Structure formats: structure tokens, C-alpha cells
């Protein structure tokens, strides 16, 4: 029997999502504590949590067939939003990636499009119409073309961090569904060539790479971010600073409530306080991939693989930047970073995952699966 909205509210995965979002708002408050307007950031984030929770419950309660039935409408809307922001959006820090409404509300289509991106490419990969009519190589190139329709406008903003999340998710989903390694290898080679082209033609990208390789030699410019990550985590130590006393992240760390929220939490709670975040990522990935393998419907299974994988990829990219194993990308940490677009997209992804798992739950031992998702 299909669950009601109230039933879904009691779902452990949804309850955990709400808890993580509230933890994120608390982290935002903590890292803006010395600012005159510190209540503003936390209260605004709580407002976004309220609206994101509505999105979560609605998306979880919708029949999963609804998403497949209207995928082309979703595709059209977000396709227009992604390309339209290049002409009608506003630029922040040199990146034209937001729509502004009355100067107070910002919407980032590249974040909001992520679950719909997964829905569309997963639907194509599992479509029997294409598989019976075209060769594997043609199928793969069409798959890449569909993915590029979403990725190219993100690159043109330019938002290379978010584009990287899309690209890795595109390859991951293809691999999870049994794609050919040779095709992936060729694609990665081409992606490497494109990366070299970007480095050669975008001076700030080259500067970031230099700062990443030798942060101390570029401490006043491109290496500044990396050094502040190191200093912030070092000050957190094993058990962290007193609450509200993490002054380094509040004063020196760039964008401590969004792009650098993981480092901010590290200074406040220390290494021990960061372990639960790694645990949540590991549980989400193992739980989601395990459930995806148990679904009877390949379409729903593909969507779950993609949604779970994309959130894990984004989280790990954010953390990799913080700990110094990847150049700065500006990618947010799902559920924790400040911002309504990122939080809404994450909640939408979780809600869609719940819907896919509920409607595609595999029957075992002649009894329906009754576990809550």
C-alpha cells in the first residue's frame, strides 16, 4: 500500500535528512557568530529548511511513475533555465549562475537541475526503444550528447566545480548499468584533453592549479584558500574549539558558511566531530546502492544509482578540497552548506529516491518488502 505524506514523515531516511539540515543551520550560525548579522544567516537557512522539507515530502509522496511520465516537461523547463541564466542571470565572483528576484532571493539552476538531470539520462540508458534500434557506440554517443546539453551551459557560466559533479555522475551511472569500460576510457581521455584546453585558455584556472601544487609559494594569491583550510583544520585538532570560538574560520576562511563549511565544522568540533559526516556519506552510499540492486524495475534502479551517486560525489569533492587533495572548486556540502538552491535540490533528490525505492521495492520470499525508506 502506498504511504501517505504522514507515513513518509516518519521514514528514517527523511528524519535523518531533517536532522542533518538542522545541523547545517547550526553550523552556519556558529561560523557567523562574530558577525553583526549572524542571526540573519541561520534564520534564513531555517526558512529554506522549511521550504525544502515541503519539497522533500511532496517528491517522496509522488508516485515514481509521475517522474517518468513528465520527464520531458521537466527536461524542457530546466533546459531553458540552465541556458537562460547565461543571458538573464547575475554574476557573482565572476560566475553568471543565478537568477535574482527583487535582489533578495537567488536561484541557482545548476543546483536545482541535478535530480532532473539524473532522471533524464537514467531514463535514456534504460529505454528499450533505443537499445533495440541502435548500436552500443551510437547509444553511448547519444547518451553523452544528452549529458552535454546540461553540462555545456554550466561550463559557460563558468562553474567548473558543478560541471565536474555532472560529468562524474554521468560516467558513474553509465558504469553502474554495465557500460563498456573502453567507452569510458576514451571519454576520460577526451575530458583530459578538454581540461588541458581550459587550463591553457583560462588564466585563473592555471593560477588555482599553481596554488594547489605550491600553496606556500602563492600564499597571498591562489594558495590562500588552501592554506586557510589547513590552518582551520589544524586549529580544530582532535576535539575542536569551544562553541562560537572558532575565530579562524570566521575571520580568515573564505565563504565559511558555504564553500568551506566542512573546514568550519572541523575547527568547531575537531576530527571527532567530522567522523559522523563521513559515516553519513558511507551509510547513504552503501544503503542506496544496495537498495538499487534489489529493485525489479531497471529504470527506478538507475535513478537511485544516479541520485545517490551524485550526492556522494558532490560531498566527496567538497571534502577533498578541504583536506587538500583536490584544487578549490566552490562545490557545496549537501545538507550543510548555506543556500536554498543546494538544500532544495538535495531534498528533492532524497525525496525522489524514496519514491523510486517505495514503488520499485522487490518482492522476496513471497512477501512484499515492508521496510521503510
Give this prediction's pTM: 0.88
pLDDT (tens digit per residue) in 285-313: 999 999 998 888 889 999 999 999 999 99
pLDDT at 58: 92
Answer whether 343's CB lies under 8 Å from 52's CB.
yes
Task: Report d(CA 315, CA 334) in Å as an integer.
Answer: 6
pLDDT at 320: 92
Which has the minimum average pLDDT: 40-54, 60-74, 91-105, 161-175?
91-105
Which residues, 6 or more positions from 174, have their beta carbon under 8 angstroms from its beta carbon? Answer: 125, 140, 143, 183, 184
For the residues 353-357, what does the mean pLDDT come to?
A: 91
Alpha carbon separation from 332 to 165, 312, 321 (Å, rounded): 11, 12, 11
pLDDT at 88: 92
Task: Report d(CA 294, CA 247) in Å as an integer.
Answer: 47
Which has the minimum average pLDDT: 127-131, 134-138, 209-213, 278-282?
127-131
235 phi/psi in degrees, rounded to 5: -70, -30
The yes-or-no verdict on residue 189 having pLDDT over 80 is yes
The yes-or-no verdict on residue 282 having pLDDT over 90 is yes
Task: Report d(CA 195, CA 190) in Å as an integer.
Answer: 9
The count of C-alpha atoms lying within 13 angstroms of the C-alpha of 38, restricted to the half-sphere facing its C-beta, is 14
Instruction: Find the length of the chain.
Output: 373
pLDDT at 364: 37
pLDDT confidence of 348, banded at 50, 70, 90?
Answer: very high
pLDDT (tens digit per residue) in 193-236: 888 888 777 777 788 888 888 888 877 777 888 888 888 888 88
Percent of the chain with pLDDT strictly greater than 70? 88
pLDDT at 34: 66
Task: Report d(CA 213, CA 205) in Å as an integer.
Answer: 12
pLDDT confidence of 103, banded at 50, 70, 90?
Answer: low
pLDDT confidence of 368, banded at 50, 70, 90?
Answer: very low
pLDDT at 187: 87
Bridge partners (DSSP) listed for residue 90: 98
Task: Report d(CA 168, CA 228) in Å as an integer.
Answer: 27
Alpha carbon separation from 96 to 99, 156, 157 (Å, rounded): 9, 9, 5
Name the average pLDDT for the chain: 84
More confident residue, 237 or 318: 318
Packing angle, helices 203-213 and 224-236, rounded to 10? 40
Alpha carbon separation from 325 to 39, 109, 114, 317, 319 (Å, rounded): 33, 28, 25, 9, 9
Q: CB burial class (10 A; 0-12, 13-18, 19+) of residue 14?
A: buried
State whether the Cα torsion 174-180-183-188 is positive or negative.
Answer: positive
pLDDT (tens digit per residue) in 38-84: 677 888 889 999 999 999 999 998 999 999 999 999 999 999 999 99
Buried b (16+ CB within 10 A) or exposed e, 103-127: eeebbbbbbbbbbbbbbbbbbbbbe
The yes-or-no verdict on residue 126 having pLDDT over 70 is yes
The yes-or-no verdict on residue 102 having pLDDT over 50 is yes
Task: Report d(CA 53, CA 178) in Å as an integer.
Answer: 34
The yes-or-no verdict on residue 6 having pLDDT over 70 is no
Amino acid at each position: 500500500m502506498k504511504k501517505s505524506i504522514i507515513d513518509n514523515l516518519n521514514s528514517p531516511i527523511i528524519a535523518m535528512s531533517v536532522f542533518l539540515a538542522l545541523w547545517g543551520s547550526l553550523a552556519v550560525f556558529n561560523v557567523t557568530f562574530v558577525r553583526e548579522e549572524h542571526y540573519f544567516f541561520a534564520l534564513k537557512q531555517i526558512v529554506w529548511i522549511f521550504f525544502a522539507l515541503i519539497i522533500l515530502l511532496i517528491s517522496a509522496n509522488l508516485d515514481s511513475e509521475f517522474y517518468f511520465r513528465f520527464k520531458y516537461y521537466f527536461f524542457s523547463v530546466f533546459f531553458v533555465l540552465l541556458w537562460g541564466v547565461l543571458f538573464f542571470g547575475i554574476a557573482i565572483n565572476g560566475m553568471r549562475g543565478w537568477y535574482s528576484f527583487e535582489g533578495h532571493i537567488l536561484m541557482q539552476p545548476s543546483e536545482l537541475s541535478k535530480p532532473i538531470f539524473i532522471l533524464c539520462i537514467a531514463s535514456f540508458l534504460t529505454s528499450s526503444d533505443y537499445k533495440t534500434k541502435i548500436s552500443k557506440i551510437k547509444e553511448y554517443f547519444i547518451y553523452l550528447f544528452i549529458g552535454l546539453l546540461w553540462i555545456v551551459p554550466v561550463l559557460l557560466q563558468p562553474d567548473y566545480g558543478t560541471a565536474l559533479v555532472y560529468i562524474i555522475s554521468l560516467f558513474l551511472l553509465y558504469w553502474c548499468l554495465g557500460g563498456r569500460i573502453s567507452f569510458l576510457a576514451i571519454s576520460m581521455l577526451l575530458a583530459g584533453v578538454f581540461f588541458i584546453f581550459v587550463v591553457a585558455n583560462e588564466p585563473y584556472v592555471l593560477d588555482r592549479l599553481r596554488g594547489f601544487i605550491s600553496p606556500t609559494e602563492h600564499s597571498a594569491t591562489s594558495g590562500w584558500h588552501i592554506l586557510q583550510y589547513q590552518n582551520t583544520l589544524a586549529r580544530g585538532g582532535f576535539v575542536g574549539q569551544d562553541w562560537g570560538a572558532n575565530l579562524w574560520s570566521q575571520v580568515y576562511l573564505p565563504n565559511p558558511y558555504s564553500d568551506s563549511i566542512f573546514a568550519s565544522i572541523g575547527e568547531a568540533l575537531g576530527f571527532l566531530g567530522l567522523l559522523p559526516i563521513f559515516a553519513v556519506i558511507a551509510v547513504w552510499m552503501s544503503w542506496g546502492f544496495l537498495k538499487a540492486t534489489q529493485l525489479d524495475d531497471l529504470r527506478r534502479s538507475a535513478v537511485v544509482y544516479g541520485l545517490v551517486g551524485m550526492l556522494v560525489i558532490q560531498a566527496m569533492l567538497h571534502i577533498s578540497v578541504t583536506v587538500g587533495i583536490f584544487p578549490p572548486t566552490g562545490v557545496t556540502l549537501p545538507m550543510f552548506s548555506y543556500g536554498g538552491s543546494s538544500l532544495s535540490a538535495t531534498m528533492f533528490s532524497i525525496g525522489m529516491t524514496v519514491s523510486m525505492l517505495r514503488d520499485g521495492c522487490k518482492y522476496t520470499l513471497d512477501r512484499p518488502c515492508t521496510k521503510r525508506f
